[in-house]
Amino acid sequence: MTVLRESPWYQEILKEGLAKGLQQGLQQGEATLVLRLLSKRFETIDSTIAMQIRQMNVSQLELLAESLLDFQSLDDLQTWLQQHGSV
């Protein structure tokens, strides 16, 4: 078992797995934060919209987080989602 753990293939697979896990954790954390901010601003967020947001990649979530400061209503959010081709 020790020989397997020391093999370059094992190390590469482990590195890839860790990188994917970190990326997923970052994406989930950002989605959660954006949803919390939207809920604080608008009280309730439709589950369909929440699902769209949870499927966004990190760069989309960061752009949405910046943009939500300018939203006056949920219509602004829906327009943003349509314009930015959310998943």
* Helix 47-54, helix 8-42: angle, nearest 10: 150
Cα gap 16→23, rounded to integer Å:
11
73, with CB counted inside 10 A (0-12, 13-18, 19+), is: exposed
Q: pTM of the predicted model, to two decimals?
A: 0.77
Where do the DSSP E strands lie in the chain? Answer: none
Summarised one tens digit per residue, pLDDT across range 22-61 is 888 888 999 999 999 999 999 889 999 999 999 999 999 9
Q: What residues does each domain of the chain span?
A: 2-83
Tell me 73's DSSP state.
S
Cα gap 14→21, rounded to integer Å:
11
